[in-house]
Each structure stands twice: as C-alpha cells, then as structure tokens.
C-alpha cells in the first residue's frame, strides 16, 4: 500500500513550507491529541514564527493556503496560537483501508536505511537456573529483534552466556566430592545449584575447602583436561535446560558465545591498551581514565586488577572488538538491567577511546516486583525459577479456559493455554515502559478486561468468529464506503499501525506498539457495538468486513512482533 497518512501529510507540509520560503525540516506532523479537532496536527507555524518574526496565526494561515490537500484531507484548520489541524477525507481513508486489508505488512513501511544490528540479551549463567530476573531481558530483547527485522534491519541475536569465573571452582570441587548422580539425572540445574551452595557454605568454615576450590578454578583456567571435560558437561546440561525454555518462549539466537570464548584475548588486549596509552597503571591496576567526561571523571574503567585478574569490563571490551571484526555492525544493543548503567557507560567510553566507532546502546530496564512491591522472590527468598513461572502461567490459563469454554477438545485447550499463558507473561512485560518497576500479578495479566494479552487475543478471536459465522473469508476487497463515525475511527486507528511500528526502535519502547494494539482493540469493540456486521447488507456489509479483516491482520501482526501468538478460539 502507499505511504501512511502521517508520511503523506508530512511530505505535503514540507512542500507548503518551501513554497512559503520556510525551512521544511521544522514541519513535523503528529497525531492529534484530541480527535474532535482533527486527525493530525502540526506546530510548524508556532516554531517558525519567532525565526521569521511573524504572527504565528498569520503564518499558519499562509502555510494552509499553500498546502495541497488533494484527495487526502480538508483544508488545514488553524487553532489556538497557531496549530494546524488536518482532517482526513473519508473517501481517502476508505481507499487506504482497502489496501491495508490486503497488505501483508499492514501498512508498515520498510526502513530506507537498513542497518546491521547485534542484540545482546538474556545471558543466563551456566550451572544456575534461569529465573524471573531473566524475563525482562529475554522478552524485551526478542521483541526488539523481531521489530528490527520486520522494518528491514539485519539482526544478529547474541546470547552472551556466563560460563567463566570464580563460581566454577566451587562447582568443580562440589562435582568431585559431593555429586549426587541420581539427582543430576533428575534435575541437572538443581543439582549444580546445590553443589555451588554447599561448597560456598563449606568455604565459610573450612579454609581448606576454599583453597581447594580455588585450585580447581586455576586448573580449569590452565586447561586441565579433567576440569575442562566437567565444565563442558556443565555447559551442555545447562544449555539443554535453557534451550527448552527458549523453545517454549519462541526465542531464538544466532550466536551464543560465552565469556570463556573471549578469555584467551584478554591479556593481549590489556597489554595493547597499556602500550598505546589508552590504559594506565594506577596502584598496580590497569585503568582507563576519563578526565574529559564529567560523569566518569572519578570513575575509571578497570581492565586488570592489581593481582593480575581481569574484570567484566575487560571481557566486554574484547567482546566488542570481536563483534566489530566478525559482524561489522552499525550498532550493538545491550538489553540488561538498569543497575548496570555505570558499567556500560565506562565500557562504551573505553571502547570509543580504543577507536571503536560502532554505535553502542545500553537498553536498560527496571525490576519485576512481587505483590508486596518488593523484588519478586520465592517464600524461601530465592529467585523464582523461570521454568516454574512459565509452567504456572500455562496452568492458570488452562484453568481459565476450562471454566470459560469446557466443551473444547483437550488438545485444543492445551494449545490455547500455552498461547494465552505465555502471551500474558510477555505482554505484562512489554506493555510497560521498560524503565518502570512493575508488579507481577497473575490476576491482572490473565484478565480478559483491560490492557492485557488475553483481552487482545480475545478481540482477535471475536473478529475471526464473524467470518466463521459468515461461512466465508473476505476475498478481494472491493468498494469500501465509510460513513459512520465508529467506522472512520477504527479505520484511522488501523492506518496508524504503520506509523507506530518504526517509532518503537527510536527509544526502544515496545510499549508504544502494545498500547496502540490495546487502543485498536478498544476502537474495534466500539465499532462492533455500534455497527452491525452480519445483519448489514451490500456495500455496507462488505465495508465492515474489510474493517474486521484489517483489524484481525493488525492485531495478529502486532502481537507477533511482540512474540505473542493468537488462538482462533478461546
């Protein structure tokens, strides 16, 4: 289909500004805050009036006179101190709707400037369970990857696994002295976690255990065959657990290189940084200082400790070097929690000092809280395992379906429960601004009312039920006529889908898309109540069926971009 309403209006506003002798780049069009006064608005006259020393309303009138309305809208109206309001013509909206109903992209344009982007997200630790803390990174990262691919970027998803470090000395010691083979077969992650905790507790009272665990770590780092073999088992068993969770969530990765992959490069990297003056020795440690960056003036980036050990920053810098060489990306996005903001500020500043020109973005997010408004934990104070949370989501959704629609076949109930349960968890995350701390509430996220995935999925099901009752699909969209206010309101909301999707990546905010889908569902329900579909006839019925088809397409496509499926029945 052709460009979005906003794009067409923007192009014509730019032409009008040029005709007035004004700079076109100040001509921004935005959806109207109050649709009673129009569908879109611009404040160009108010912005430019000071520059050209003119009265804003008079300048707005001049711009309006030069604006070529054509078939798209009425002549711009002037409001307040100089706003330009634009009201779309129903005939043009109907034409665009007809095109959208048959468009696989639902009117969303592809970017004119495709880029290669590496997205670093999820990043669980080997020998530890994935837990509720991994929800935000995993779900947010996957949604951004889906949307970036959809708009035309080349995306490389990289799961940077925590597979190296002090904890492995403890697990190796526990494996050799405390391992329960039967428990390992039943639940590998639980047994590895037990080994770590028991050895950690023993170290507190027995210095010999601490010394022995440290020795096991050194042997691993030096390439001892036995320890490397055990370590590889830890990785394989952990990844089997992780991959099962990722499969349930529908999340995939192009790369999964752990910290260990970069370890051989760390010593040479630090020596290079010292040799070229990027890093300096301070109190025995190798540091990169940032005297020209006020926020980091007293916060150097340590790349080697005084005892010779390396740090997370060292690994992250080696990772950046590898990604730049391997992928030559335009940007690398790091989807990790807000507490790591200082770390990434230091790492990104250090990378710039190293001559890295690739754009580096830290996509931070807040925390998930329990209903007590504290960090979500189990009763014992542990992090809630992600596997258990996924299972409970599906179980609760199954119970809801059993109550609402008990006559469905068992297999269909299981399928719907998976789609609804997982969709509810994902949408609860993605409908929030990513920096918001939000309360994890089963009753709220599984509700069929309000801004939830089940509400949106149910809206899709309601649309599809119209075609089931009709006994036919839409077929090729023919003449479309929109006369009722509810018809026009829904059509205009649907046409905005193509305007919203590209905005998500500007500030990495999938909640913009989620909220638009919620508004679309609300607008559809208003239309559905006001405008009978199956009881109407002729062109009126066909036009309303086109609205229904376009609604189903937008809801399905939009939810898919968020990693959420839709059922055909609920």
Q: How confident is the model at residue 473 (pLDDT cuts 50, 70, 90)?
A: confident
What's the pLDDT tens digit per position in 52-82? 899 999 999 999 999 999 999 999 999 999 9
What does the pLDDT read at residue 375? 81
Catalogue all structural domains in the chain, each as residue range(s) with its CATH number: 5-88 (3.30.1360.70), 167-249 (no CATH)
Q: For the chain, state the CA radius of gyration.
A: 28
| Locus of tokens 């046409």 | 495
Distance CA 358, CA 84 (A): 40
**Residue matched to tokens 């119970």:** 399
- The number of residues making up the chain comes to 570
Mean pLDDT, the chain, as a whole number? Answer: 94
Cβ-proximal residues to 283 (8 Å cutoff; 6+ apart), any chain: 306
What pLDDT, on a 0 to 100 scale, did the predictor assign at position 384?
83
Given pLDDT bands bounded at 50, 70 and 90, which one contains residue 243?
A: very high
Q: Distance between CA atoms of 440 and 424, rounded to whole angstroms? A: 11
Closest to 392 (Cα-Cα) out of 449, 445, 454, 442: 442
Crossing angle for the helix pair 312-327 and 266-275, to the nearest 10 degrees: 90
CA distance linking residue 566 with residue 570, whole number of Å: 10
Distance between CA atoms of residues 46 and 81, nearest Å: 7
CA distance 532 to 534: 6
Stronger pLDDT, 379 or 73, i.e. the higher one: 73
**DSSP annotation string for 400-441:** HHHHH-TTS-HHHHHHHHHHHHHHHHHHHHHTS-TT--EE--
Three-point CA angle 112, 117, 123, nearest 5°:
150
When pLDDT is cut at 50, 70 and 90, the band that residue 370 belongs to is confident
pLDDT tens-digit readout, 146-190: 999 999 999 999 999 999 988 999 999 999 999 999 999 999 999
Quick check: 382 pLDDT over 80? no
Asked whether the beta carbons of 78 and 55 are under 8 A apart, the reply is: no
SS3 75: coil
Confidence of residue 373 (pLDDT cuts 50, 70, 90): confident
Identify the pLDDT of residue 347.
Answer: 98
- Residue 116 exposed, middle or buried by CB count within 10 Å (0-12, 13-18, 19+): middle
pLDDT at 313 over 80: yes
- Please classify residue 225 by burial: count the beta carbons closer than 10 Å to its beta carbon, then call 0-12 exposed, 13-18 middle and 19+ buried: exposed
pLDDT for 471: 85
Q: In terms of Cα–Cα distance, which of 181, 202, 201 is closest to 192?
A: 181
Q: Note the pLDDT tens digit of each residue in 412-458.
A: 999 999 999 999 999 999 999 999 999 999 999 999 999 999 999 99
What's the token pair of residue 204? 């507190």
pLDDT band (50, 70, 90) for residue 477: low
DSSP 286: E
**Local confidence band at 378 (pLDDT 50, 70, 90 cut-offs):** low
State pLDDT tens for residues 270-292.
999 999 999 999 999 999 999 99
In contact, 148 and 115? CB cutoff 8 Å: no
Q: At what angle do helices 135-151 and 410-430 cross, to 10 degrees?
A: 90
Phi, psi of 352 (to 5 degrees): -65, -40
Q: pLDDT-derived band of residue 338, with 50, 70 and 90 as boundaries?
A: very high
Roughly what angle, to the nearest 10 degrees, separates helices 135-151 and 497-504? Answer: 120
Q: Is the pLDDT of residue 218 over 80?
A: yes
> 381 falls in which pLDDT band (50, 70, 90)?
low
DSSP track, 177-197: HH--HHHHHH-HHHHHHHHHH
Look at residue 515 and tell me whether its pLDDT is greater than 90.
Answer: yes
pLDDT band, very low/low/confident/very high, at 380 (cuts 50, 70, 90): low
Residue 428's closest CA among 299, 554, 518?
518
């Amino acid at each position: 289909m052709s460009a979005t309403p906003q794009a067409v209006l923007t192009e014509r506003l730019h032409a009008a500004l040029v005709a007035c002798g004004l700079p076109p780049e100040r001509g921004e069009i935005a959806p109207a805050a109050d649709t009673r006064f129009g569908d879109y608005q611009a404040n160009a006259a108010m912005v430019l009036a000071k520059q050209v020393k003119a009265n804003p309303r008079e300048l707005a009138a001049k711009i309006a006179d030069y604006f070529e309305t054509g078939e798209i809208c009425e002549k711009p109206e002037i409001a307040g101190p100089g706003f330009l309001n634009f009201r779309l013509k129903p005939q043009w909206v109907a034409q665009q709707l007809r095109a959208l109903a048959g468009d696989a992209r639902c009117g969303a344009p592809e970017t004119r400037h495709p880029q290669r982007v590496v997205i670093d997200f999820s990043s669980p630790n080997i020998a530890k369970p994935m837990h509720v803390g991994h929800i935000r990174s995993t779900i947010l990262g996957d949604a951004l990857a889906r949307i970036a691919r959809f708009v035309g970027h080349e995306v490389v998803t990289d799961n940077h696994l925590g597979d190296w470090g002090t904890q492995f000395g403890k697990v190796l010691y526990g494996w050799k002295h405390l391992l329960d083979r039967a428990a390992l077969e039943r639940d590998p992650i639980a047994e590895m976690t037990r080994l770590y905790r028991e050895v950690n507790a023993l170290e507190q009272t027995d210095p010999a255990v601490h010394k022995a665990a440290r020795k096991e770590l050194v042997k691993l780092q030096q390439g001892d065959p036995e320890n490397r073999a055990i370590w590889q088992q830890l990785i394989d068993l952990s990844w089997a657990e992780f991959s099962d969770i990722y499969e349930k969530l529908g999340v995939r990765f192009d790369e999964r290189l752990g910290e260990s992959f970069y370890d051989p490069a760390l010593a040479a990297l630090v020596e290079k940084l010292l040799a070229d003056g990027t890093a300096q020795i301070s109190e025995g440690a190798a540091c990169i200082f940032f005297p020209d960056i006020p926020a980091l003036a007293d916060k150097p980036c340590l790349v080697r400790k005084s005892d010779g050990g390396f740090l997370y920053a060292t690994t992250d810098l080696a990772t950046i070097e590898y990604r730049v060489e391997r992928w030559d990306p335009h940007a690398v996005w790091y989807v990790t929690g807000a507490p790591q903001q200082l770390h990434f500020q230091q790492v990104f500043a250090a990378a710039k000092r190293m001559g890295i020109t690739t754009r580096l973005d830290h996509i931070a997010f807040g925390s998930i809280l329990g209903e007590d408004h504290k960090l979500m934990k189990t009763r014992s104070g542990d992090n809630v395992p992600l596997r258990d949370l996924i299972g409970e989501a599906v179980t609760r959704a199954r119970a809801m379906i059993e109550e609402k629609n008990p006559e469905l076949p068992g297999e269909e109930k299981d399928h719907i429960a998976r789609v609804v349960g997982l969709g509810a968890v994902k949408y609860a995350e993605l409908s929030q601004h990513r920096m918001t701390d939000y309360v994890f509430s089963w009753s709220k996220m599984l509700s069929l009312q309000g801004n939830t995935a089940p509400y949106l999925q149910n809206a899709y099901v309601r649309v599809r039920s119209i075609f089931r009752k009709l006994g036919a699909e839409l077929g090729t969209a023919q003449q479309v006529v929109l006369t009722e206010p509810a018809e026009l309101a829904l059509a205009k909301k649907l046409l905005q889908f193509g305007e919203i999707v590209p905005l998500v990546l500007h500030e990495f905010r999938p909640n913009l898309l989620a909220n638009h889908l919620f508004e679309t569902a609300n607008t559809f329900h208003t239309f559905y109540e006001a405008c009978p579909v199956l009881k109407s006839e002729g062109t009126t019925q066909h036009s309303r069926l086109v609205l229904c088809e376009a609604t189903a397409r937008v809801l399905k496509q939009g939810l898919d971009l968020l990693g959420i499926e839709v059922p055909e029945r609920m």
